[in-house]
Amino acid sequence: MSGHDVAVTGLGLLTPAGIGVGDTWEGVRAGRSTATADPELAGLPVEFSCRLPDVDIDARLGRRLSRRVDRFSAMALIAAREAVADAGLGEPWHAEAEGREADWDPDRVAVLLGVGSNSLATYPEEFGRLNEERPDRVSPLALTRSVPNFAASEVSTDLGAAGPSMAISTACSSGAMALGTARSLIESGACDVVIAGGSESARAAMTAACFAQMRALSQRGDEPERASRPFDAERDGFVLGEGAGILVLERAEHARARSARVYARLTGFGASCDAYHVVAPRPDGEGIVGATRAALADSGWEPQDVGHINAHATSTRLNDRAEAHALHRLFGTPPPVTATKSVIGHSLGAAGAIEAATTVLSVHYGTIPPTANLDTLDEDIDLDVVTGKERGTWAPTALSNSFGFGGQNAVLAFEGP
């Protein structure tokens, strides 16, 4: 590993499969959907989602902080604290108080978080006050609770990271784009450590209503646990989810100097835009092909070097088909594929980061988690999809795919240390 190779030294996860990395990984490996009826969506066209298990945010963050931030920022804070602790990095002020040298130079630690949109849970309540002609009752915290960059800002403040702090917003590829951009900061020599990933709750009523009107959500309300079914012939849309995924990316030399444990390396990143349609993917998958080729070239890999792919695989008819077509164009016979959204739903801007984290764990432990609810493969999708139970991987290399509205494509390449 060269001095600017990018090591993954810490992980933090909050997902419908579990609170924390261990519980999430076990839930994803089990391959069982977490979709259930959602009281917050009652009365809407789609009344189910994949939501976090009970988590006491007040207890984890303290009442004052938890009341100041919106749910997407709270999830980011909890996941970032787990990731930094997992990486064995102590905050600078702790080191100073203990009379020892800090593990990082705060000025060379960045925070980049993907967020698909501002909080559609906070604004309706505040707009209601305006509509009642009570602007004096609008909360002064409405902006700071909802503006997308405040997740990154809160994490930077919480951890004392004084380097660049920003939001990356490219729809459902936001989390993956944040990781790719973070890699560039390290490669350029600008940063030693980047706390990167994504956080979002897609369970707001407005979000659910909009996606339902677009006919993007599964209508399988009588059996929600079978609704998210990527690549299946009977798929009818995705299931809303929520969560946060944070990775600590570190310059390899910096990680070696402190004898850090390395899960994997982020060896490549590719991005593209379909330049085709506001929401629909290019049917031929050309944008996906371009982003994947860029990630492979960045890694120095040939297609046959890829051990498996964590697919974007939303469970919509157009997206799954376009992704499958792109993989066939690239690989001829694609490597094994898994689809994490079948278990935890689609957390929009956080999805790419959560799936990147599970891909890192797959590479680290040498196993590919199964895809839930795939009963009959769509006849137009000829892929080796891992189902039923986890499968060992023949190579410690993997791609993690993330695509989004506006034709945004991001592909990350991970390799064992």
So which residues are the catalytic ones?
Answer: 172, 312, 346
State the pairing for strand pair 367-368/391-392.
antiparallel
Q: Are 177 and 404 in contact (CB under 8 A)?
A: no
The encoded tokens of residue 110 equal 């960045």
The DSSP result for 337-383, as a single string, is EE-THHHH-B-GGGHHHHHHHHHHHHHHHTEEPPBTT--SB-TT---
The encoded tokens of residue 400 equal 């993690």
Residues 6+ away with beta carbon under 8 Å from 355: 175, 176, 245, 310, 340, 341, 400, 402
The DSSP result for 147-159, as a single string, is STTHHHHHHHHHH
Q: Is 144 exposed, middle or buried (0-12, 13-18, 19+ CB in 10 A)?
A: middle
Is the CA virtual torsion 180, 153, 170, 374 positive or negative? positive
Instruction: Print burial letters for 395-413: b (CB count within 10 Å at least 16), e (below 16).
Output: ebbbbbbbbbbbbbbbbbb
Report which of 276, 298, 274, 296 is spatially closest to residue 287, judged by C-alpha positions. Answer: 274
Dist. CA 213–CA 178, nearest whole Å: 29
State the pairing for strand pair 264-273/408-415.
antiparallel
Q: Are 245 and 354 in contact (CB under 8 A)?
A: yes
